[in-house]
Structure 1
Amino acid sequence: MDTSTSPSPSPSSKSILNITTPFQNLPDASPRPHKKSIFTTLMEATTTSFKEDTYLVSHLRNSEKKALQEFKDKLLASGEVNNASMWGVTLLNGDDRADVLLLKFLRARDFRVCDALNMLLKCLAWRKEFGADNIVDEELGFKELEGVVACTQGYDREGHPVCYNDYGVFKDKEMYEKFFGDEEKLKKFLRWRVQVLERGIKLLHFKPGGVNSLIQVTDLKDMPKRELRVASNQILSLFQDNYPEMVARKIFINVPWYFSMLYSMFSPFLTQRTKSKFVISKEGNAAETLYKFVRPEEIPVRYGGLCRPSDLQNGPPKPASEFTVKGGEKVNIQIEGIEYGATITWDIVVGGWDLEYSAEFVPNAEGSYTIAVEKARKIEASEEAIHNSFTLKEAGKMVLSVDNSASRKKKVAAYRYIVRKYSTQSV
């Protein structure tokens, strides 16, 4: 059995995008002057261009190099960290992996050596008391929350592991009571949340020029802000105190209108450097925001991507082709050159759908009829990626259509396909 996969066309199949734009000759509407809302102002203030550190000593300023050496000297003189290690890295072994960790503490305290030393010593004490080094393998009994409330899944376009957080499930009072009903339950939940983070950190390189931090995506849709205030504050405080510079970017999606109040609640617990990493995306723009940082085949289907939990069992995800659907456009994806007896399987998604989709097979032979594989239908914004397959009884092409003619809003989209050729030989 032979297999060909997009977006690299094989001799037996290739894809072509055809676009028609009914609105393309209409003039753009004149922008109306308007006063910025508090929400818009907050988005602009917190969304900045954050450049991640390389952790190459050669890239440090002279004052930073001096601080790093002073930090090492003070650690050695303290006698408290002779053989201490974090995440498999011995702090005073003199190699560049140790430099990466020490620089994380220094940057978290703006290269104030005494403050960084105090932070590191407190972190070591906390890790020992909490048992953080061995927590990854513990069975904490949170199976029903794994992959729902918090999970590390896939990588961003620069290779950072991506951790997703979604606390909307706790809007249900029974669920809230089950996991946050008393102090002991809260402590156990925090332990599980640390376990998820530690598993993500195990994917980091801790090498200069390597991947040394995570991406965090937090879905604020349906999050019961009042009920989760105590838990949220404890999580933020714990992570900031003991996981310096472990997050390269914090992406908030499905942000509700009242986020300004929520932000003011969290703000006192956040450093300015942490705030500079924020990306704010209001409700309905999750896919558009995530596509800027993560490839669609790595994004879970519930956020407008193509990745389903079952896909993770089959190795790295198959790459997808990205495209945009402008307002007023109809896009036809033509997959040509499919042979008799072959089976084509495809996935397609449009972020925030709310448009028409259809799929048809067009035979090569004259006189043959076009087959409506999936009749045209309106796909609601809440629906996930489409997955389907079709076996050809004659040679021809597949045409996948997304019709955004009724809207002026541009949408991100992606698709991929596999063609399995017909074979009479056993596999």
Structure 2
Amino acid sequence: MLTKLLGGGSKDKHVPHAKKENLVRIEKPIENLPDSIKTHKFKSLTKEQEHMYAEVLKYFQDEKLLVRNSEKHSDGSDPHAKSPLTLEEKAWLTRECLLRYLRATKWNVSDAIDRLKKSLAWRREFGISHLGEENGDKVNSDLVGIENESGKQVVLGYENDARPILYLKPGRQNTKTSHRQVQHLVFMLERVIDFMPQGQDSLALLIDFKEYSDVPKVSGNSKIPPIGVGKEVLHILQTHYPERLGKALLTNIPWLAWTFLKLIHPFIDPMTREKLVFDEPFPKYVPVNQLDVLYGGELDFKYKHNVYWPSLLEMAESKRRHYMKRFQKFGSVVGLSEYDLRGDGEELIYKV
């Protein structure tokens, strides 16, 4: 990545389009993983890893555990205020969640526990700790809906390894820089996580910096975020969504965007850098029947906010209800597996 960052920008590339007869018109998200893409059970742990995982699990299974209600106390809350884990927070603390934080801390038990507690506090303060607006999340569709009216972020399709795809299109920016833009990104990250199939716990980002003439320019704004916003987003992704990014494909990167990437490069952790792919053909990583025609796929996707947005919300809520129903079915305990919670089997594959 560093070598690429030291280079220049890139112009829009010619992308070979699929044959017209193969195109599929679509205006809504793809609700489920196609049969042509397979997932697998999660990797087994070594005995040492099982022991470290058991330590973290035991800590968060403690019914007397209290967690801070905010990370930075920017809401003016009591910095010492704590409360027990809620039902939704226990559902968030899955086997895979604990393992993601262990991997991110290089299997340091105390560091993993500390980071998990900080993320729980951040989720409470940010307003997403209830796993959906139907359960009381403050960052909801009413708040961020205006941000997506131009279709600048879209959940659509699955890549080769069954990761759900979130398209980010800064060139369709329709609002002035504000904290709501960060709330919108987090909201969409939570939605693409809702779309994860059984056996997959990471996502793919497809980032296109192309300018779009149909989106009116916003006075005093740029499709490249200020460095402060970029650092905040990086902090959120790396600190509170560790191991969630499976692949990030970037295309149509202008000189200004390369400059921005150079500036934030020191803040990108090495594990994230390895997952960034620059200006390679998207069909190399995404089946054409899951990919937007703009990038060489067969999906003739047109964003219509009054069609796409309610469909996204309805599908995501349905998936969350399925997840929570199975969480309660299997005892509402910390450490249940996302493989079981996203599945439909009658027995647990990964017992707590």
Give your verdict on TM over 0.5: yes
SS at match of 2:247: strand
What is the rounded CA distance, in whole Å, between the counterparts of 1:191 and 1:138 in structure 2?
10
What is the rounded CA distance, in whole Å, between the counterparts of 1:75 and 1:228 in structure 2?
37
Deviations 1:282-311 (A, max 9, x none): xxx5xxx21011122222222232213359
What is the rounded CA distance, in whole Å, between the counterparts of 2:66 and 2:170 in structure 1?
39
Deviations 1:43-92 (A, max 9, x none): 9xxxxxxxx99633xx223332222112123334572376446677263x
Whether the aligned pair in 2 keeps the contact of 1:83 and 1:90 (CA below 8 Å) is no
Whether the aligned pair in 1 keeps the contact of 2:224 and 2:256 (CA below 8 Å) is no
Superposition pairs of residues 92-171 of structure 1, within 5 angstroms: 98-132=94-128, 133=130, 134=133, 135=137, 137-140=140-143, 142-143=145-146, 145-146=148-149, 148-170=151-173
Q: 1:247 to 1:196 in 2, by over 3 A?
A: same
User: Could you tell me which residue of structure 2 aligns to residue 352 of structure 1?
Assistant: none
Superposition pairs of residues 22-421 of structure 1, within 5 angstroms: 38-39=3-4, 55-56=42-43, 59-76=44-61, 79-80=65-66, 83-84=85-86, 89=91, 91=93, 98-132=94-128, 133=130, 134=133, 135=137, 137-140=140-143, 142-143=145-146, 145-146=148-149, 148-170=151-173, 175=174, 178-180=175-177, 186-205=178-197, 210-221=199-210, 224=222, 227-256=225-254, 261-281=259-279, 289-309=281-301
What is the rounded CA distance, in whole Å, between the counterparts of 1:225 and 1:311 in structure 2?
19
What is the rounded CA distance, in whole Å, between the counterparts of 2:167 and 2:141 in structure 1?
21
Q: Structure 2: which 5+ residue stretches go unaligned?
A: 9-38, 68-83, 212-220, 312-352
Q: 1:146 to 1:301 in 2, by over 3 A?
A: farther
SS at match of 2:167: strand
SS at match of 1:151: strand
Question: Offset at 1:215?
Answer: 0.5
Q: 1:311 to 1:39 in 2, by over 3 A?
A: closer
Higher relative contact order at CA 8 Å, sep ≥6: structure 1 or structure 2? 2
Select the structure that is richer in strand. Answer: 1
Percent identity over paired residues: 25
Residue-pair matches, total = 243
TM (norm. structure 2) is: 0.59
What is the rounded CA distance, in whole Å, between the counterparts of 1:141 and 1:75 in structure 2?
32
SS at match of 2:201: coil
- Root mean square deviation of aligned Cα: 3.5
Q: Structure 1: which 5+ residue stretches go unaligned?
A: 1-36, 44-51, 92-97, 181-185, 316-427
Larger radius of gyration: 1
Q: 1:232 to 1:153 in 2, by over 3 A?
A: same
TM (norm. structure 1) is: 0.50
Whether the aligned pair in 2 keeps the contact of 1:149 and 1:165 (CA below 8 Å) is yes
What is the rounded CA distance, in whole Å, between the counterparts of 2:224 and 2:164 in structure 1?
30
Whether the aligned pair in 1 keeps the contact of 2:153 and 2:188 (CA below 8 Å) is yes
Question: Offset at 1:155?
Answer: 1.0
Amino acid at match of 1:131: G
